Amino acid sequence: MGHFAAAGVREALLDTPASLARSAHQLRVNFLSRLSSLAAVAVPDGPTRRRWHVNRIRFLTNRLLYLAPISEWGLISEAISDLPEFADTNALLRLLRSGDVSTLLNMPGPAVTAAASLLHQIEGPRGQVELPSNLTFPQIHSASILLLFGVARGPVEGAFQTSESARDFLAFCSGQSRAVRSRNDFTYLDEIQSAEIIPNHDDFVEERLERDFFRLKPATVAAANQDG
C-alpha cells in the first residue's frame, strides 16, 4: 500500500501543466458521459435507491462545475432541473449562466457562499451582479455574502430599500468605509464600523493585544504567588 502511495506522489510531482490539463479534459469527458447516462434514465422508486441515484448525480455535477466550461453546463442543468434535491445548484446555475440572482438570494448561507466563491474564481470583479433594491431579512444575509466576495453591487439607481442599519451593514460588506461612526449604540455594527475607520487596523489590534497582555501579567503573577 505504501509503495502505491509513494508512486502516486512521485507521479503527481512529475506532472506538467500540459499533462494535468489532459487529465482534467479526460475527466471532464468521462463525467459528462456518465451524467448523460444517468439523466437518460428515470429516477428510481424508493427512498434508498433515489438517494443513491441523486448522490451519483451530485458527485458528477459538483466536479463538472469546475471541470466543464459554462458552455457545457446545459447538460448539468437538464440533468438536475426536475430534482428538488438540487434547488441550490439550480439557483447557482441560473446566476452563473444568466446573472439571475433572485432565486439564490432565498437560499441558505452555504449555497450562497459556494456560488459567490465559484463566481469569483470564474469571473472575478467582472462578474458583479446587480442586487435588487428591495430585500427581505433573509435576502439581506445572502446579499451580504455576495458583497463580501466582491461579486455583487447595489442597485444602480437609488439605494437599498431597507432599514438604516441594514443599509449600513450592506455598505460595510461592499467595502464602503466610513470616516466617522454612523451610530453610537455599541451594537455589533457599531463595533465593526469603529474598527473600519482605524487608520491601521493591524497595528491597532497588535498594540491592543500587547497592552492587554502586560495589563494582565501582574495580576497573573500575583495570583500565582497567592497559590504558592
Write down the domain spans for the chain. 1-82
Judged against a pLDDT cut of 90, whether residue 223 lies above it is answered with no
Pairwise pLDDT comparison (211 vs 93), residue with the higher score? 93
Provide the pLDDT for residue 153: 83
Mean pLDDT calculated for residue range 137-152: 88
Q: Any idea what DSSP says for residue 43?
A: P
Residue 96 grid coordinates: 452563473
End-to-end CA distance of the chain: 55
Pairwise pLDDT comparison (210 vs 144), residue with the higher score? 144
The number of angstroms, rounded, from the C-alpha of 142 to the middle of its chain's C-alpha atoms is 10
In whole angstroms, give the CA distance from residue 88 to residue 104: 7
The set of residues, in sequence order, having a beta carbon less than 8 Å from that of 6 and lying 6+ positions away, is none
Within 13 A of 72's CA, how many CA atoms are on the CB side? 16
| Lowest model confidence (mean pLDDT) among 58-67, 87-96, 173-182 | 173-182
The pTM is what?
Answer: 0.66
Judged against a pLDDT cut of 60, whether residue 225 lies above it is answered with no
Share of the chain above pLDDT 70, in %: 72
In whole angstroms, give the CA distance from residue 70 to residue 111: 19
